[in-house]
């Protein structure tokens, strides 16, 4: 019996004023997406309508999620709306799961027009947690500012959306599913693909898997401990590190993706990855790593819980790229880091005689640099590192770089870090996060602080803290001019640079889930003398932090006694 074509329905709606995407797409409390009528549908229609109609008709898109609560329901809506809006084919991860790096990889491999990723990164999941929708463009990277602005402008005037409410797919069944739609000449196609396979094939072509496997299975193997934090990375860790590279099955924990990530924020840092930290402190393991919900961020720990600062991590990777077959084949073109990230990578770039680009926070700013052949490796202090193999930060790629370095040098994590400091000097670095602040209070605090540091007299100011004297050399609101297309990004963070190269940076973060505003304070100080590389970070940076607290009055103005998170 022949089935009748699935109808395409146009639904009347009204615009929402708060659908401007931020650094990582649109993030809100899950209850907003789930409970506000048409909130999800409006934003998906805005994303689809931002693609030129001629490009949209019959094109291919990728869809994946980090497995958080509401993802399956949202994927069903996305499929129904993609079909109604002329998309020809959707490629979706098995059970709806795809890591953010895997989405970028697949977009590039199959030459899709883009991809929709359902993730709020390291933010909590579950009904009371956060939900996010991120649109990656055809190069596999996050939407540039022009695309995000287009999505927002569409959302402000949206009056209707198109959907096929009767279309149903089975996310658990690998393979192709086809659907005939009313008034469409070609069937709409959905392909459910293995979440790991394409990404794994890419990694095989980047790394020396034989060398890594020898490290993990040889007589002097370091015991490793990997925490997938009940996010999307569980299947990737099991398949790649355990099955492919020989790590024991019991070396990977929390590998079952859960909708609420086991009730903890899936954030790989010293505050939230506490079970990994405690396990590593026991001294039984030589290498530890944790991943965030969607697999683009990571944390590295060495024996006895030795913490690798993310700013150091990207610098150490940069200094050792000749170990990786991919870079031996394609060469190293240059480096990039976000402005808030420490200058450790700058010193490596200088030694290697390579260009170093300083960008605003947000992975989208690295895309143009990589697409134009200016940059091979880039990183952010927020536990994200990646290279031009895709256009996203990549947690598992970063872990495999570290294991490759350990295999080649036959050294542990701490020894590798200390030898790097001895060669290049140490950039002491920390970040204070003040989360959930009243948005108005945060705005006025930053406005007033900018007025203080913009005063001409400020650039000649000296701050005495204990026996330390800091002289201001430069203070500004960071502005970035893209060297590729000349676009300008203004108001990217307040920075104070002292004459000894110490820095303070103040940023308001746009990556929250709608629960107030976050202000981040970054402090950095460089130390060349190896005899002074063993000091406690908070002791070294204490005077700078005291200056930051004094000139911002953040405790007095917010009623806080201290930061929520220190990294």
Active-site residue set: 121
Question: What Cα–Cα distance (Å) separates residue 533 from each residue in 94, 107, 539, 566?
Answer: 47, 43, 12, 20
Residues 54 and 23 sit within 8 Å (Cβ to Cβ): no
**Cα–Cα distance, 521 to 492 (Å, whole number):** 13
d(CA 91, CA 169): 12
Long-range contacts of range 209-215, CB-CB < 8 Å, 24 or more positions apart?
A: 209/244, 209/245, 211/404, 211/407, 211/408, 212/245, 212/400, 212/403, 212/404, 212/407, 213/244, 213/245, 213/246, 214/407, 215/403, 215/406, 215/407
Q: Is 419 buried (19+), middle (13-18) or exposed (0-12) by CB count in 10 A? A: middle
Contacts 24+ apart (CB under 8 A), 273-278: 273/227, 273/229, 273/299, 275/227, 276/225, 276/227, 276/301, 277/301, 277/305
Measured between alpha carbons, how far is 485 from 487 in angstroms, rounded to an integer? 6
Backbone angles phi, psi at 357, to 5 degrees: -110, 135
């Amino acid at each position: 019996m022949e089935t009748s074509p699935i109808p395409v329905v146009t639904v009347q709606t009204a615009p929402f004023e708060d659908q401007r995407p931020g650094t990582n797409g649109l993030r809100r409390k899950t209850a907003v997406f789930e409970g506000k009528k048409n909130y999800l549908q409006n934003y998906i229609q805005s994303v689809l309508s931002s693609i030129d109609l001629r490009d949209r008709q019959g094109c291919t898109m990728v869809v994946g999620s980090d497995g958080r609560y509401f993802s399956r329901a949202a994927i069903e809506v996305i499929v129904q709306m993609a079909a109604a809006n002329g998309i020809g084919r959707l490629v979706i991860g098995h059970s709806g799961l795809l890591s953010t790096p895997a989405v970028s990889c697949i977009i590039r491999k199959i030459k899709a027009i883009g991809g929709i990723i359902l993730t709020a990164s390291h933010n909590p999941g579950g009904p009371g947690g956060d939900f996010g929708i991120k649109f990656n463009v055809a190069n596999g990277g996050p939407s540039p500012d022009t695309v995000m602005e287009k999505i927002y402008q569409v959302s402000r005037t949206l009056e209707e959306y198109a959907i096929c409410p009767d279309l149903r797919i089975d996310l658990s069944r690998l393979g192709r599913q086809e659907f005939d739609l009313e008034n469409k000449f070609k069937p709409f196609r959905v392909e459910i693909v293995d979440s790991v396979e394409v990404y794994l094939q890419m990694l095989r072509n980047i790394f020396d898997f034989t060398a890594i496997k020898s490290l993990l299975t040889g007589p002097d193997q370091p015991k490793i401990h990997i925490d997938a934090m009940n996010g999307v990375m569980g299947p990737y860790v099991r398949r790649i590190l355990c099955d492919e590279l020989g790590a024991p099955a019991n070396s990977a924990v929390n590998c079952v993706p859960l909708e609420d990530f086991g009730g903890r924020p899936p954030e790989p840092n010293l505050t939230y990855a506490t079970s990994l930290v405690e396990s590593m402190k026991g001294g039984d393991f030589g290498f530890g790593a944790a991943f965030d919900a969607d697999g683009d961020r990571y944390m590295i720990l060495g024996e006895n819980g030795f913490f690798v600062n993310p700013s150091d991590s990207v610098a150490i990777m940069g200094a050792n790229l000749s170990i990786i077959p991919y870079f031996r084949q394609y060469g190293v073109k240059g480096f990039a880091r976000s402005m808030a990230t420490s200058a450790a990578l700058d010193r490596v770039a200088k030694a290697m005689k390579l260009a170093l680009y300083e960008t605003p926070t947000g992975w989208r700013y690295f895309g143009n640099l990589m697409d134009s052949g200016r940059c091979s490796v880039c990183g952010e202090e927020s536990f994200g590192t990646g290279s031009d193999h895709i256009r996203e930060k990549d947690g598992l790629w970063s872990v495999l770089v570290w294991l490759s370095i350990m295999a080649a040098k036959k050294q542990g994590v701490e020894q590798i870090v200390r030898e790097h400091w001895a060669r290049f000097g140490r950039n002491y670095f920390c970040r204070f996060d003040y989360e959930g602040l009243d948005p108005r209070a945060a705005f006025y605090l930053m406005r007033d602080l900018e007025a203080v540091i913009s005063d001409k007299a400020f650039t000649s100011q000296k701050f005495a803290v204990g026996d330390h004297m800091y002289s201001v050399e430069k203070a500004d609101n960071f502005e970035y001019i893209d060297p590729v297309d000349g676009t300008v990004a203004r108001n990217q963070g307040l920075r104070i640079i002292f004459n000894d190269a110490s820095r303070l940076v103040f940023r308001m973060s746009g990556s929250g889930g709608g629960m107030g505003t976050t202000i981040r304070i970054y402090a950095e100080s460089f130390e060349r003398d190896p005899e002074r590389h063993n000091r406690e970070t908070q002791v070294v940076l204490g005077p700078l932090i005291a200056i930051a607290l004094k000139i911002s009055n953040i405790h007095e103005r917010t009623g806080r006694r201290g930061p929520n998170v220190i990294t």
